[in-house]
Structure 1
Amino acid sequence: MEIKTIKGIALASTAGICWGSMGVAAQYLMAECRFTVLDLTSIRLLGAGILLVLLDIFWNRTKHIKAVFEKENLKDIVIYGFALLCSQSTFFLSISSSNAATATIMVLTSPLFIIAYLAIAHHRRIKLLEMICLLLAMIGVLLIITKGNWNTMDLSIAGVGWGLASAMLGAVGTIQPGRVVRKLTVFPVIGWAMTFSGAAACLYNNPLETDVLWNTMGIVCYLHIVLCGTIVSFCCFLKSMEFIAPPIASMLTCFEPLSAVVLSVVLLGATFGVTEGIGAVCILMTVFLLARARSG
């Protein structure tokens, strides 16, 4: 297998694992620290964005600032930030209209939108293996989320609609920033996109007027969401597409629910049964098949 393929698979899988661990921290904040969905979205994006911008300035001084505010680059960054904000908001709306299982399954269709776009816009041939891996990933996530109890699915029209909207916006966020990332690198693009979208969200949901509880564990969980669940995850995900195709990178984020379940078992005392085990095997098979295909 080529080294660059290994790097791409490792980066995309790491992004999924980080997003899954973030879900466990978010669960604690909402259950124990009175955080709402809007609190998490706005404070997370703004905090991570400002930190990334400061890190970029520390490492590169003002090298990227002028380039960020060039008309074409700024347009791409603002669109990417808007896609980030909207994809998260529609995901949470899908959960509120149905449940987490339905929302997660709908969002997992994002690679389909990416594959369809690349096939139409770039005349890219759809590969049978990609469709098989996508099916395996969806089955794996379905088994992990529902634990084999199909009654947990609530296919309301609104829930499915918001979930599909989140999937499409996620596909936009995967493909759209490619040009500006290649020009400016990952850090300034994600940093400024999150800063713009986080600031916009805070105008609607003022963080100074929230009723959250900032205890020690709450601060630790928030920092984990910002550092690991946002900065590391998004940087790894966008960086992975320098080595592997966007549809493959998007499929590998199926590690998100798997890591969330494993961490819930370890940290929160949740149970992990045979059904979830079969789902985990399905997800791991996608990585094996994609890696074998790339090395062949």
Structure 2
Amino acid sequence: MRRKRLFGLVMGTIAALLWGISGPASEMLFDHQVDVAWLISSKMLIAGVITMVLAWRLQGKTALLAPWRERRASGQLLIFILFGMLAMQYIYFKAVAVANAPTATILQFLSPVLVLIYVALQARQLPRRTDVLIIALAMFGTLLVVTKGQLTALAITPQALAWGLMAALAAAAYAILPAQLLKRHSPLVVTAWAQLLGGIAMTVVRPFWVDCPHLTIGQWGAYAFVVIGGTIVAYLLYLISLQYVSVTAVSLLDAFEPLGATVTAVVFFGFHLGFFELIGGTLIIITVLLMSITEPKAP
């Protein structure tokens, strides 16, 4: 049991790091006028086709079609595709585009707090005093990030703040929605259908073959990492981790996402993180450590 839990924690950690690194990579693309909708439609469709082939070869036709043979599972899968997979990807990358990768990722990292609130509501219990303290600490950390210490004025645009907070909500939904589905179906199968159908839906809105951006070799390399590392591998590992640890525990591993995004942005893209932003981001990460120590109940 401990080995399985450790395996799940490792898979979730790697997924968070890959997501974090893909943030600055996508920001580089947005800086060269790459459209967010184009990036989402193209990368989800490519990832969906590749993952679907893997699922068919490794799991077989029966397992691949299994979710659609159950009415309840079909509904859960469609809800997850729309409000989990598709929403999380589009909203997060939109937040990166209007703010920057570290800020967007730090704001998205509020998702464990939202999961904590969800767990309390599902259990029909008021949050514990420690939970209230954790939430207050997370809110104060967020305030420092978005104001850079000037508490009476925003240091980022209201648009960036709104997209960042919506990214946190979408990340929480992504963690919560597939929990029951993954108890009966392979994470590879769930990922394959979510990526493929989400990509098709997004392509209807924004066909990727229209106004395709002209990128350099380095930019195409960043795009390849976003598709492979930040989409195919990261989402698959995240869903695998949900099979071995609770949704609350997995959401705590998102601490590695702002870490990966910030380190990558500072080292490779010359991003400067201010003192109060650093303190605020650290406070948000501390809330996750506190949640782990106090062992909040899993749904």
Structure 1 155/268 Cα, relative in aligned 2: closer, same or farther at 3 Å? closer
Q: Hey, what does 1:52 align to over in structure 2?
A: 51
Structure 1 122/273 Cα, relative in aligned 2: closer, same or farther at 3 Å? closer
Alignment of 1:209-224 (within 5 A): 209-224=210-225
The SS at the match of 1:69 is: helix
Alignment of 1:81-160 (within 5 A): 81-83=81-83, 84-91=85-92, 99-100=99-100, 107-123=108-124, 126-130=127-131, 132-133=133-134, 148=149, 153-154=155-156, 156=158
Q: Which amino acid aligns with 1:29?
A: L
Segment drifting more, 199-208 vs 265-274? 265-274
Q: Hey, what does 1:261 align to over in structure 2?
A: 262
TM-fit CA distance, 1:273: 5.9
Structure 1 186/13 Cα, relative in aligned 2: closer, same or farther at 3 Å? same
Structure 1 178/51 Cα, relative in aligned 2: closer, same or farther at 3 Å? same
Structure 1 162/222 Cα, relative in aligned 2: closer, same or farther at 3 Å? closer
Q: Hey, what does 2:271 align to over in structure 1?
A: 270
Segment drifting more, 131-140 vs 244-253? 131-140
Unaligned runs of 5+ in 1: none
Structure 1 283/117 Cα, relative in aligned 2: closer, same or farther at 3 Å? closer
Structure 1 85/19 Cα, relative in aligned 2: closer, same or farther at 3 Å? same
TM-fit CA distance, 1:66: 2.3
Q: Which amino acid aligns with 1:121?
A: Q
Structure 1 106/260 Cα, relative in aligned 2: closer, same or farther at 3 Å? closer
**Whole-Å Cα distance in 2 between the matches of residues 276 and 3 of structure 1?**
37
Unaligned runs of 5+ in 2: none
The SS at the match of 1:270 is: coil
CA offsets per residue over residues 154-176 of structure 1, 9 Å max, x none? 463x6655554444333322212
**Whole-Å Cα distance in 1 between the matches of residues 163 and 135 of structure 2?**
21
Q: Which amino acid aligns with 2:255?
A: C
Structure 1 92/274 Cα, relative in aligned 2: closer, same or farther at 3 Å? closer
**Whole-Å Cα distance in 2 between the matches of residues 124 and 77 of structure 1?**
28
**Whole-Å Cα distance in 1 between the matches of residues 9 and 139 of structure 2?**
18
CA offsets per residue over residues 63-116 of structure 1, 9 Å max, x none? 3222032233332222111112233434456677x7458765654443343333
Q: Hey, what does 1:41 align to over in structure 2?
A: 40
Q: Hey, what does 1:65 align to over in structure 2?
A: 64
TM-fit CA distance, 1:4: 4.8
The SS at the match of 1:28 is: helix
CA offsets per residue over residues 216-264 of structure 1, 9 Å max, x none? 2233212211221112322232333334332332243133222111112
TM-fit CA distance, 1:50: 1.6
Segment drifting more, 62-71 vs 116-125? 116-125
Between Structure 1 and Structure 2, how many residues are aligned? 291
Check whether the contact 2:15–2:238 (CA below 8 A) recurs between aligned residues.
Answer: yes
Check whether the contact 1:144–1:261 (CA below 8 A) recurs between aligned residues.
Answer: no
TM-fit CA distance, 1:202: 0.7
TM-score (norm 2): 0.78
Aligned CA-pair RMSD: 3.5
Check whether the contact 1:258–1:280 (CA below 8 A) recurs between aligned residues.
Answer: no
Structure 1 138/25 Cα, relative in aligned 2: closer, same or farther at 3 Å? farther
TM-fit CA distance, 1:20: 1.2
The SS at the match of 2:31 is: helix
Structure 1 274/10 Cα, relative in aligned 2: closer, same or farther at 3 Å? farther
Check whether the contact 2:110–2:138 (CA below 8 A) recurs between aligned residues.
Answer: no
TM-fit CA distance, 1:291: 5.1
Q: Which amino acid aligns with 2:18?
A: C
TM-fit CA distance, 1:292: 4.6
Q: Hey, what does 1:189 align to over in structure 2?
A: 190
Check whether the contact 2:255–2:285 (CA below 8 A) recurs between aligned residues.
Answer: no
Q: Which amino acid aligns with 1:260?
A: A
Structure 1 139/210 Cα, relative in aligned 2: closer, same or farther at 3 Å? farther
Q: Which amino acid aligns with 1:36?
A: D
Q: Hey, what does 2:80 align to over in structure 1?
A: 80
Structure 1 90/29 Cα, relative in aligned 2: closer, same or farther at 3 Å? closer
